[in-house]
Chains A and B, each alone.
Chain A
Amino acid sequence: MLTLRNINKEFESVSAVSDVSFEVNAGRIFGFLGPNGAGKTTTLRMIMNIIQPDTGEIFFNGSIQRPENRAFGYLPEERGLYQKFTLVEVLEYFAKLRNVSNPKPLIMNLLERFNLSDRAENKVSELSKGNQQKIQFINTILHDPQFIIMDEPFSGLDPVNQLLMKEILDELKSRGKTIILSSHQIDQVERICDDVALINRAKLVLSGDLKTIKRQYGEPILKISFVDETLIHHKKIAELGGSIKDNFVIFKVDTALESKHIISEIIELGETKEIKKAEPSLEEIFIKLVQGDIS
């Protein structure tokens, strides 16, 4: 478990992180989300002890005592590897820095998993950007760290490899690892996270369990489509407070009773193709929150 309490960091009198507190539980994937320049990387760098907070405390498994470096796996936003090293050399070097004894079988195993075992003796510079990113991911988890901290891990990865990474993250989650992913692509990370924290302009906007957040901040909606598409322009729709989006009619519904009433009114208009109850996306909640629609 990782706990941040009232963390502050300024650069040249400009606040980069302001009074940020959140908790990351073991065995769950935590999404640290927000737009570019919100303070995500600075926060992660403080967790990684690369820079120090001006004030505030970070607890690791309840203790202020920081575990040794090999307990951490870090995938920074600014990525790079020694281009002239072979894949095995570069991974062995970092494994040695983290005191991993006999890392070669582990390396080969992970290279195999990422379909890179036949290129083990190739130089890093000979790899595509996406493959280099896979090596960086392997480097992050190679030493079996307790805390896995990844800054924008999906940028530059194709959908197939994104899926593979998600699969491995799920495995790590089931093994009780504490995992943080940061991203500005909120919709993408939302799909794999259990908990989230949203940060904007150095300040935490909200944090907690994703489902609870959606329940708390999101207004459920009803999405309805008709077999006869012209029905979406029926005057009854406007009377019930519906709006049209694409070929759907959208109703905001606060209670179950309200949605029951709308559905009964609608089916009288004509045959429906689809009636769907939907939640707003985290991105929509975030936009509303930072625009002050929800307080």
Chain B
Amino acid sequence: MNFWTIAKKEFLIRIKSKWFIFGTFVMPILILGMSLGANLLSATGAMSDTKSIVLFDETGLYGEKIINAIEDENQGNESRLMDIKLETSPLESVKDDYTTLVTSGGIEGYFLLPADFNETLEIRYYSSGKGAGINRHVREFRTTLNAILFDINIEKFQISHEVMKALENKTHVKSFDIASEGELSEAEKIAKFITPFMFLFLLFMGVFTGAQQLMRAIIEERASRVIEIILSTVSHMELLGGKILGMGMLGLTQSAIYLIVGFFVSNYFGISVISGPIVVLFLLYYVLGYLFYASIFSTMGALFESEQEAQQAVSVVTVIAIIPMMMWFMVLESPNSTLVNVLCYFPPVTPYFMILKVAIGETTVTQTILTLSVLLISTLAVLKIGSKIFETAILMYGKRVTLPEILRWIKS
């Protein structure tokens, strides 16, 4: 009874708060708006940064052609990647000047087509090194030169365009859905790719932020000293259980809102991505994953008096929990690789890896049952240890708890 009263209070005060409404409805709109806005800005050229580039051509064959091709391509383009000029003086005679120019920022860098370019096909680019590897203007230069070489070779070897096209062997892929045998539309392809990520994201948001909020609530309750009145009224387990349940329901409500919206939106576009079995498994992994993290975070809440200290203590757990968010692409590409299959049994990341595999249908019944069992056993163990520490630590004020002390509590 008390357990429910506490859970209800935790749930109701948060669901009615403006932060919940903001986090649930406004944040996704903001994120969507920001990404659309960024694309829009990019299209208007507001985010472009035209680089000043110089070209030395020791072969004397391509310089003019490159400059003309780039100029033609960027005619009237406000957000062009570079302004390129051909330098006719030999590099050796002006090298020092250009080095100074690059260092001082006068120009971004210079390209050199060395005298033996026709044998080596090596373009040299000299710059301060910033953005090396991702510079789009370098890519544009290379693509332009490749096209010029292509045309030169057609003429040189007297090959017809038809032959060149045939030699290019441009294959393409059409994707079909095995069940309906219908061709997958672009929207469906995107949905198949995005859906697993959405499930992962919902799980991460619900489990991780729910556990974080729980920790914060316990710290607040300790800091406001209300905890002692509560503990004179209810047991430690009722308090901990009520709080875990209340926060869990809050996270689940948020996920349910997103799932329902996702279901209707995807149905509107004629794509079916949310099925009953996936939702059931999502809930199972969600609940167990949440309980696992909630136990750890509530224990930390009981051990520390300030949120800052507690956050530092849980930083290791935070890093582990973020791993799946960084590896999700790899899981989608190679869902049955040894690494992914091993990590599925590592409780802190089990829910995340498994929900990705479930969402793309790359798991077996055995693996699902086994991972759920591993997660259940480890969650029960963490809950038991966590509640012991919670019980002892919750009323300790002004004393830094040491690891040997914690171990002693667990053993007692």
Contacts and interface: CB of A to CB of B under 8 A. Distances in A.
A82 B234 contact: no
Contacts of A256: none
A78 B233 contact: no
B89 interface: no
Contacts of B15: none
Interface in A147-186: none
A98 B238 CA distance: 13
A69 B233 CA distance: 6
Nearest to B397: A78
A84 B13 contact: yes
A96 interface: yes
A80 B233 contact: no
B132 interface: no
Interface in A60-96: 69, 72, 74, 76, 78-84, 93-94, 96
Contact of A78 (B1, B228, B405): B228
A80 B230 CA distance: 10
A44 to B, nearest CB: 9
A76 B224 contact: no
B2 interface: yes
B212 to A, nearest CB: 19
A97 B5 contact: yes
Contact of B226 (A45, A69, A81, A99): A81
B9 interface: yes
Nearest to B231: A50
A193 interface: no
B93 interface: no
A194 B229 CA distance: 26
A9 to B, nearest CB: 13
A84 B228 CA distance: 18
Contacts of B230: 97
B237 interface: no
Nearest to A41: B228
A48 B232 contact: yes
Interface string A95-125: 0111100000000000000000000000000
Interface in A3-57: 12, 45, 48-51
A82 B226 contact: yes
A136 B232 CA distance: 13
Contacts of A139: 229
Interface string B336-349: 00000000000000
A37 to B, nearest CB: 13
B1 A82 contact: no
Contacts of A69: 232-234
Nearest to B394: A50
A170 B225 CA distance: 28
A99 B232 CA distance: 14
B234 A50 contact: no
A93 B228 contact: no
B232 A80 contact: no
B395 interface: yes
A50 B232 CA distance: 6
A94 B233 contact: yes
Nearest to B392: A51
Given A69-B234, A97-B233, A50 B228 contact: yes
A49 B231 CA distance: 9
A76 B232 contact: yes
B234 A74 contact: no
B224 A80 contact: yes
B224 A82 contact: yes
Contacts of B1: 99
Contacts of A79: 225, 229
Given A69-B234, A83-B224, A76 B229 contact: yes
Contacts of A12: 405
A76 B2 contact: no
Contact of B395 (A50, A96, A99): A50
Contacts of A74: 228-229, 232-233
A49 B1 CA distance: 19
A146 to B, nearest CB: 14
Interface string A261-275: 000000000000000
The listed residue with most A CB atoms (<10 A of its CB), out of B2, B6, B225, B226, is B226
B395 A80 contact: no
A83 B2 CA distance: 21
B225 A80 contact: yes
A282 B229 CA distance: 30
Closest 6 CB pairs of A and B: A80-B225, A80-B224, A76-B228, A74-B232, A80-B226, A78-B225
12 contacts: A12-B405, A69-B233, A74-B229, A76-B225, A76-B232, A78-B225, A80-B225, A80-B226, A81-B224, A81-B226, A82-B226, A96-B5
Interface of B: 1-2, 5-6, 9, 13, 224-234, 395, 397, 405
Given A76-B225, A93-B9, 14 more contacts: A12-B405, A45-B395, A50-B228, A72-B232, A74-B228, A78-B228, A80-B225, A80-B226, A80-B229, A82-B224, A84-B13, A93-B5, A96-B5, A97-B2
